[in-house]
Amino acid sequence: MADKFFLKDIFKSLIYSRQRLFIIALSVFIGALISSAFLNIYFDIDIKLSHELKAYGANVLISPKNENMISNEKFAEFKEKLKARAITPYLYDFLNLGSTSAVVLGTDFRALKITKPFLELKEGSFSLNDFKDDSAFIGVNLAKTLEAKVGSQIQIYNPNTSKTTKLTIKAILISNDEFDSLLLVPLKILQDLSHINGIHYANAVLYGDFESIRAKTQALSDDYISAKPISSVSLSEAMVLDKIKALMFLIILIVLIIVTTSVNTTLSSIILSRKKEVALRLALGAKENEIFKLFASECFVVSLMSCILGAFCGILLANVFGFLIFNSGIDFRLKAVVLSVIISLIFAAFAAFFPLKKALKINVCENLKGE
Protein backbone atom coordinates (compact mmCIF):
# COMPACT_ATOMS: atom_id res chain seq x y z
CA MET A 1 0.00 0.00 0.00
CA ALA A 2 2.85 2.30 0.92
CA ASP A 3 4.65 1.49 -2.35
CA LYS A 4 1.48 2.17 -4.32
CA PHE A 5 1.13 5.55 -2.61
CA PHE A 6 4.79 6.33 -3.25
CA LEU A 7 4.50 5.47 -6.97
CA LYS A 8 1.37 7.60 -7.21
CA ASP A 9 3.24 10.44 -5.54
CA ILE A 10 6.10 10.15 -8.05
CA PHE A 11 3.65 10.12 -10.95
CA LYS A 12 1.95 13.28 -9.69
CA SER A 13 5.32 14.98 -9.18
CA LEU A 14 6.38 14.07 -12.72
CA ILE A 15 3.17 15.54 -14.10
CA TYR A 16 3.51 18.69 -11.99
CA SER A 17 7.14 19.34 -13.04
CA ARG A 18 6.91 17.95 -16.56
CA GLN A 19 8.07 21.11 -18.31
CA ARG A 20 11.26 21.46 -16.28
CA LEU A 21 11.81 17.69 -16.20
CA PHE A 22 11.67 17.72 -19.97
CA ILE A 23 14.85 19.81 -19.96
CA ILE A 24 16.54 17.23 -17.71
CA ALA A 25 15.29 14.41 -19.94
CA LEU A 26 16.52 16.19 -23.05
CA SER A 27 19.95 16.87 -21.49
CA VAL A 28 20.42 13.27 -20.37
CA PHE A 29 19.14 12.02 -23.73
CA ILE A 30 21.75 14.08 -25.58
CA GLY A 31 24.48 12.87 -23.22
CA ALA A 32 23.52 9.23 -23.73
CA LEU A 33 23.11 9.80 -27.48
CA ILE A 34 26.60 11.21 -27.91
CA SER A 35 28.17 8.67 -25.54
CA SER A 36 26.54 5.73 -27.29
CA ALA A 37 27.42 7.01 -30.76
CA PHE A 38 31.09 7.61 -29.96
CA LEU A 39 31.46 4.41 -27.92
CA ASN A 40 30.05 2.37 -30.81
CA ILE A 41 32.49 4.10 -33.16
CA TYR A 42 35.32 3.67 -30.61
CA PHE A 43 34.86 -0.11 -30.50
CA ASP A 44 34.70 -0.26 -34.31
CA ILE A 45 37.26 2.34 -35.29
CA ASP A 46 40.28 0.02 -35.16
CA ILE A 47 38.81 -2.04 -37.99
CA LYS A 48 37.33 0.85 -39.94
CA LEU A 49 40.32 3.14 -39.80
CA SER A 50 42.74 0.28 -40.34
CA HIS A 51 40.92 -0.57 -43.58
CA GLU A 52 40.96 3.10 -44.59
CA LEU A 53 44.68 3.53 -43.91
CA LYS A 54 45.52 0.29 -45.71
CA ALA A 55 44.21 1.99 -48.85
CA TYR A 56 47.34 4.13 -48.76
CA GLY A 57 49.68 1.32 -49.71
CA ALA A 58 51.83 -1.53 -48.49
CA ASN A 59 52.71 -1.88 -44.81
CA VAL A 60 54.76 -5.10 -44.89
CA LEU A 61 58.12 -5.76 -46.56
CA ILE A 62 59.08 -9.30 -47.55
CA SER A 63 62.71 -9.95 -48.53
CA PRO A 64 65.10 -12.90 -48.87
CA LYS A 65 67.05 -13.71 -45.71
CA ASN A 66 70.22 -15.50 -46.75
CA GLU A 67 69.90 -15.48 -50.54
CA ASN A 68 69.59 -12.78 -53.16
CA MET A 69 66.15 -13.95 -54.22
CA ILE A 70 63.01 -15.65 -52.98
CA SER A 71 62.13 -18.72 -55.01
CA ASN A 72 58.68 -19.00 -56.56
CA GLU A 73 57.90 -22.00 -54.38
CA LYS A 74 58.84 -20.25 -51.14
CA PHE A 75 57.00 -17.10 -52.17
CA ALA A 76 53.83 -19.04 -53.01
CA GLU A 77 54.03 -20.86 -49.68
CA PHE A 78 54.58 -17.62 -47.76
CA LYS A 79 51.78 -15.87 -49.65
CA GLU A 80 49.35 -18.61 -48.69
CA LYS A 81 50.25 -18.32 -45.00
CA LEU A 82 50.30 -14.52 -44.81
CA LYS A 83 46.71 -14.12 -46.07
CA ALA A 84 47.25 -10.47 -46.89
CA ARG A 85 44.80 -8.26 -48.70
CA ALA A 86 47.37 -7.97 -51.48
CA ILE A 87 50.98 -9.04 -51.91
CA THR A 88 53.06 -7.66 -54.79
CA PRO A 89 56.19 -9.42 -56.05
CA TYR A 90 59.08 -7.41 -57.53
CA LEU A 91 61.63 -8.80 -59.97
CA TYR A 92 64.04 -6.48 -61.80
CA ASP A 93 66.26 -7.05 -64.83
CA PHE A 94 68.17 -4.77 -67.17
CA LEU A 95 67.05 -5.61 -70.71
CA ASN A 96 67.26 -4.31 -74.24
CA LEU A 97 64.18 -2.37 -75.36
CA GLY A 98 65.23 -1.62 -78.94
CA SER A 99 66.99 1.72 -79.17
CA THR A 100 68.03 1.67 -75.54
CA SER A 101 68.25 -0.55 -72.49
CA ALA A 102 66.31 -0.03 -69.29
CA VAL A 103 65.22 -1.68 -66.09
CA VAL A 104 62.21 -3.96 -66.55
CA LEU A 105 60.02 -4.77 -63.56
CA GLY A 106 58.10 -8.03 -63.41
CA THR A 107 55.16 -7.85 -61.04
CA ASP A 108 51.51 -8.68 -60.40
CA PHE A 109 49.48 -5.74 -61.71
CA ARG A 110 46.34 -6.54 -59.69
CA ALA A 111 48.27 -6.56 -56.41
CA LEU A 112 50.36 -3.56 -57.46
CA LYS A 113 47.19 -1.50 -57.85
CA ILE A 114 46.47 -2.07 -54.12
CA THR A 115 49.98 -1.89 -52.64
CA LYS A 116 50.91 1.17 -54.70
CA PRO A 117 47.60 2.99 -55.15
CA PHE A 118 48.98 6.39 -56.07
CA LEU A 119 50.19 5.54 -59.57
CA GLU A 120 48.82 8.20 -61.86
CA LEU A 121 47.85 7.74 -65.47
CA LYS A 122 49.24 10.07 -68.11
CA GLU A 123 47.66 8.12 -70.97
CA GLY A 124 45.84 4.82 -71.43
CA SER A 125 44.12 2.59 -68.90
CA PHE A 126 45.25 0.77 -65.77
CA SER A 127 42.16 -1.37 -65.21
CA LEU A 128 41.62 -5.08 -64.58
CA ASN A 129 40.78 -5.65 -68.25
CA ASP A 130 44.30 -4.51 -69.19
CA PHE A 131 46.09 -6.91 -66.84
CA LYS A 132 46.82 -9.59 -69.46
CA ASP A 133 49.94 -11.57 -70.31
CA ASP A 134 50.65 -9.38 -73.35
CA SER A 135 50.22 -6.09 -71.44
CA ALA A 136 52.98 -3.70 -70.40
CA PHE A 137 52.93 -0.36 -68.60
CA ILE A 138 55.67 2.19 -69.01
CA GLY A 139 56.93 5.02 -66.82
CA VAL A 140 56.60 8.54 -68.15
CA ASN A 141 60.37 9.18 -68.41
CA LEU A 142 61.08 5.90 -70.18
CA ALA A 143 58.14 6.47 -72.53
CA LYS A 144 59.63 9.84 -73.46
CA THR A 145 63.04 8.28 -74.12
CA LEU A 146 61.58 5.49 -76.27
CA GLU A 147 58.91 7.77 -77.80
CA ALA A 148 56.48 5.02 -76.85
CA LYS A 149 52.73 5.46 -77.34
CA VAL A 150 49.74 3.74 -75.79
CA GLY A 151 48.69 0.83 -78.01
CA SER A 152 52.09 0.43 -79.62
CA GLN A 153 54.15 -2.71 -79.23
CA ILE A 154 57.48 -2.81 -77.48
CA GLN A 155 60.09 -5.50 -78.08
CA ILE A 156 62.03 -6.78 -75.10
CA TYR A 157 65.26 -8.67 -75.67
CA ASN A 158 67.43 -10.41 -73.12
CA PRO A 159 70.99 -10.80 -74.52
CA ASN A 160 71.91 -13.27 -71.78
CA THR A 161 69.22 -15.78 -72.76
CA SER A 162 68.71 -14.59 -76.36
CA LYS A 163 64.97 -14.53 -75.72
CA THR A 164 62.64 -11.94 -77.19
CA THR A 165 59.02 -11.03 -76.62
CA LYS A 166 56.64 -8.30 -77.74
CA LEU A 167 54.12 -6.64 -75.45
CA THR A 168 51.44 -4.00 -75.97
CA ILE A 169 51.72 -0.79 -73.98
CA LYS A 170 48.42 -0.20 -72.18
CA ALA A 171 49.26 2.96 -70.28
CA ILE A 172 51.93 5.53 -69.45
CA LEU A 173 52.27 5.91 -65.68
CA ILE A 174 53.44 8.75 -63.45
CA SER A 175 54.72 7.90 -59.97
CA ASN A 176 57.33 10.61 -59.26
CA ASP A 177 59.80 7.92 -58.19
CA GLU A 178 61.82 5.14 -59.81
CA PHE A 179 58.69 3.78 -61.52
CA ASP A 180 58.87 6.69 -63.97
CA SER A 181 61.93 5.04 -65.56
CA LEU A 182 60.67 1.43 -65.55
CA LEU A 183 58.89 -0.85 -67.94
CA LEU A 184 56.33 -2.91 -66.04
CA VAL A 185 55.55 -6.37 -67.38
CA PRO A 186 53.81 -9.48 -65.99
CA LEU A 187 56.08 -11.38 -63.59
CA LYS A 188 55.84 -14.63 -65.55
CA ILE A 189 56.96 -12.91 -68.76
CA LEU A 190 60.10 -11.50 -67.15
CA GLN A 191 60.92 -14.78 -65.39
CA ASP A 192 60.71 -16.62 -68.72
CA LEU A 193 62.81 -14.01 -70.50
CA SER A 194 65.54 -14.06 -67.84
CA HIS A 195 65.32 -17.72 -66.82
CA ILE A 196 64.76 -16.67 -63.21
CA ASN A 197 62.70 -18.78 -60.83
CA GLY A 198 62.01 -16.23 -58.14
CA ILE A 199 61.61 -12.59 -57.12
CA HIS A 200 63.86 -10.02 -55.47
CA TYR A 201 61.34 -8.95 -52.80
CA ALA A 202 57.65 -8.26 -52.23
CA ASN A 203 55.47 -5.98 -50.21
CA ALA A 204 51.97 -6.49 -48.88
CA VAL A 205 48.94 -4.85 -47.36
CA LEU A 206 48.07 -6.66 -44.14
CA TYR A 207 45.19 -5.76 -41.79
CA GLY A 208 45.85 -5.24 -38.08
CA ASP A 209 47.76 -2.95 -35.75
CA PHE A 210 51.54 -2.68 -35.61
CA GLU A 211 52.01 -5.27 -32.85
CA SER A 212 49.75 -7.88 -34.44
CA ILE A 213 51.40 -7.41 -37.83
CA ARG A 214 54.86 -7.67 -36.30
CA ALA A 215 53.91 -10.81 -34.39
CA LYS A 216 52.48 -12.44 -37.50
CA THR A 217 55.40 -11.54 -39.76
CA GLN A 218 57.91 -12.72 -37.16
CA ALA A 219 56.08 -16.02 -36.82
CA LEU A 220 56.10 -16.56 -40.59
CA SER A 221 59.73 -15.54 -41.15
CA ASP A 222 62.14 -18.42 -41.56
CA ASP A 223 65.65 -19.16 -42.85
CA TYR A 224 64.63 -18.14 -46.37
CA ILE A 225 62.24 -15.22 -45.99
CA SER A 226 62.30 -12.21 -43.70
CA ALA A 227 59.07 -10.30 -43.28
CA LYS A 228 58.54 -7.21 -41.17
CA PRO A 229 56.10 -4.32 -40.93
CA ILE A 230 57.07 -1.02 -42.49
CA SER A 231 57.37 0.91 -39.23
CA SER A 232 56.78 4.36 -40.67
CA VAL A 233 53.39 3.22 -41.98
CA SER A 234 52.18 0.95 -39.17
CA LEU A 235 53.37 3.15 -36.29
CA SER A 236 51.85 6.24 -37.90
CA GLU A 237 48.59 4.34 -38.14
CA ALA A 238 48.72 3.49 -34.42
CA MET A 239 49.45 7.11 -33.53
CA VAL A 240 46.53 8.34 -35.63
CA LEU A 241 44.22 5.80 -33.96
CA ASP A 242 45.32 6.83 -30.46
CA LYS A 243 44.81 10.52 -31.21
CA ILE A 244 41.34 9.94 -32.66
CA LYS A 245 40.34 7.84 -29.65
CA ALA A 246 41.61 10.53 -27.28
CA LEU A 247 39.63 13.14 -29.21
CA MET A 248 36.48 11.02 -28.97
CA PHE A 249 36.87 10.64 -25.20
CA LEU A 250 37.39 14.39 -24.88
CA ILE A 251 34.19 15.09 -26.84
CA ILE A 252 32.22 12.62 -24.67
CA LEU A 253 33.61 14.20 -21.50
CA ILE A 254 32.76 17.75 -22.61
CA VAL A 255 29.21 16.75 -23.58
CA LEU A 256 28.69 14.98 -20.25
CA ILE A 257 29.97 18.01 -18.33
CA ILE A 258 27.49 20.19 -20.20
CA VAL A 259 24.74 17.67 -19.43
CA THR A 260 25.74 17.64 -15.75
CA THR A 261 25.57 21.41 -15.56
CA SER A 262 22.20 21.49 -17.28
CA VAL A 263 20.70 18.80 -15.01
CA ASN A 264 22.12 20.49 -11.92
CA THR A 265 20.71 23.89 -12.85
CA THR A 266 17.30 22.58 -13.88
CA LEU A 267 16.89 20.38 -10.82
CA SER A 268 17.86 23.27 -8.56
CA SER A 269 15.15 25.32 -10.26
CA ILE A 270 12.59 22.55 -9.75
CA ILE A 271 13.41 22.23 -6.06
CA LEU A 272 13.28 25.99 -5.62
CA SER A 273 9.80 26.06 -7.15
CA ARG A 274 8.67 23.24 -4.86
CA LYS A 275 10.31 24.34 -1.63
CA LYS A 276 6.94 25.12 -0.01
CA GLU A 277 5.76 21.62 -0.90
CA VAL A 278 8.90 20.21 0.68
CA ALA A 279 8.40 22.35 3.76
CA LEU A 280 4.78 21.20 4.06
CA ARG A 281 5.77 17.54 3.77
CA LEU A 282 8.37 18.02 6.49
CA ALA A 283 5.88 19.85 8.69
CA LEU A 284 3.41 16.98 8.27
CA GLY A 285 5.98 14.54 9.54
CA ALA A 286 7.73 13.34 6.41
CA LYS A 287 11.30 12.26 7.03
CA GLU A 288 14.21 13.82 5.17
CA ASN A 289 15.15 10.52 3.58
CA GLU A 290 11.58 10.18 2.23
CA ILE A 291 11.83 13.63 0.61
CA PHE A 292 15.24 12.73 -0.77
CA LYS A 293 13.88 9.41 -2.04
CA LEU A 294 10.95 11.13 -3.78
CA PHE A 295 13.09 13.64 -5.70
CA ALA A 296 15.81 11.07 -6.39
CA SER A 297 13.23 8.62 -7.75
CA GLU A 298 11.77 11.27 -10.03
CA CYS A 299 15.21 12.11 -11.32
CA PHE A 300 16.14 8.43 -11.72
CA VAL A 301 12.98 7.54 -13.66
CA VAL A 302 13.43 10.46 -16.05
CA SER A 303 17.17 9.86 -16.45
CA LEU A 304 16.85 6.09 -16.96
CA MET A 305 14.21 6.44 -19.68
CA SER A 306 16.23 9.20 -21.38
CA CYS A 307 19.46 7.19 -21.14
CA ILE A 308 17.96 4.06 -22.69
CA LEU A 309 16.30 6.03 -25.49
CA GLY A 310 19.45 8.09 -26.11
CA ALA A 311 21.71 5.02 -26.08
CA PHE A 312 19.71 3.23 -28.77
CA CYS A 313 19.33 6.40 -30.84
CA GLY A 314 23.12 6.71 -30.55
CA ILE A 315 23.47 3.57 -32.67
CA LEU A 316 21.67 5.36 -35.50
CA LEU A 317 23.90 8.42 -35.05
CA ALA A 318 27.01 6.20 -35.07
CA ASN A 319 25.90 4.68 -38.37
CA VAL A 320 25.32 8.14 -39.84
CA PHE A 321 28.90 9.04 -38.88
CA GLY A 322 30.07 5.68 -40.21
CA PHE A 323 28.59 6.23 -43.66
CA LEU A 324 29.78 9.85 -43.78
CA ILE A 325 33.36 9.07 -42.71
CA PHE A 326 34.03 5.44 -43.65
CA ASN A 327 31.31 4.88 -46.24
CA SER A 328 30.07 1.89 -44.24
CA GLY A 329 27.93 1.21 -41.18
CA ILE A 330 29.07 0.74 -37.58
CA ASP A 331 28.56 -2.69 -36.03
CA PHE A 332 26.10 -2.85 -33.12
CA ARG A 333 27.79 -3.52 -29.79
CA LEU A 334 25.65 -4.09 -26.71
CA LYS A 335 28.50 -3.16 -24.38
CA ALA A 336 28.60 0.32 -25.94
CA VAL A 337 24.88 0.78 -25.20
CA VAL A 338 25.22 -0.52 -21.64
CA LEU A 339 28.30 1.61 -20.98
CA SER A 340 26.65 4.75 -22.31
CA VAL A 341 23.59 4.17 -20.08
CA ILE A 342 25.78 3.60 -17.00
CA ILE A 343 28.03 6.61 -17.70
CA SER A 344 25.08 8.91 -18.36
CA LEU A 345 23.32 7.75 -15.18
CA ILE A 346 26.47 8.34 -13.12
CA PHE A 347 26.82 11.89 -14.42
CA ALA A 348 23.07 12.53 -13.92
CA ALA A 349 23.29 11.20 -10.34
CA PHE A 350 26.30 13.42 -9.65
CA ALA A 351 24.44 16.43 -11.07
CA ALA A 352 21.33 15.71 -9.00
CA PHE A 353 23.02 14.95 -5.68
CA PHE A 354 23.81 18.49 -4.52
CA PRO A 355 20.41 20.04 -5.42
CA LEU A 356 18.72 17.15 -3.59
CA LYS A 357 20.87 17.67 -0.51
CA LYS A 358 20.05 21.36 -0.68
CA ALA A 359 16.31 20.57 -0.73
CA LEU A 360 16.52 19.07 2.75
CA LYS A 361 18.12 22.15 4.26
CA ILE A 362 15.21 24.55 3.72
CA ASN A 363 13.72 26.45 6.65
CA VAL A 364 10.27 24.96 7.21
CA CYS A 365 8.85 27.93 9.13
CA GLU A 366 9.98 30.59 6.68
CA ASN A 367 8.66 28.66 3.70
CA LEU A 368 5.26 28.02 5.32
CA LYS A 369 4.58 31.62 6.26
CA GLY A 370 1.25 32.72 4.88
CA GLU A 371 0.11 29.15 4.18
Domain residue spans of the chain: 1-53+237-369, 60-229
Cα–Cα distances in Å, from 51 out to 57, 122, 229?
Answer: 11, 28, 16
Q: How confident is the model at residue 75, as a pLDDT?
A: 92
With a CB cutoff of 8 Å and minimum separation 6, the contacts of 60 are 82, 84, 203, 204, 205, 206, 213, 217, 227, 228, 229, 230
Q: Tell me what pLDDT residue 251 has.
A: 85
List the one residue out of 180, 190, 179 whose CA is nearest residue 112: 179
- Each residue's pLDDT, cut to its tens digit, for the chain (371 residues) gives 556 666 777 777 777 767 777 888 888 888 888 888 888 888 877 777 666 666 667 788 999 987 889 999 999 999 999 888 899 999 999 999 887 889 999 999 999 988 888 888 888 888 877 778 888 999 999 999 888 889 889 999 998 899 999 999 999 999 888 889 999 999 999 999 999 999 999 999 888 777 888 898 999 998 889 998 886 666 666 777 778 888 888 888 888 888 888 777 877 777 777 777 777 777 777 777 777 887 788 888 888 888 899 889 988 988 888 888 777 778 888 888 898 889 888 888 888 788 777 777 777 676 666 54
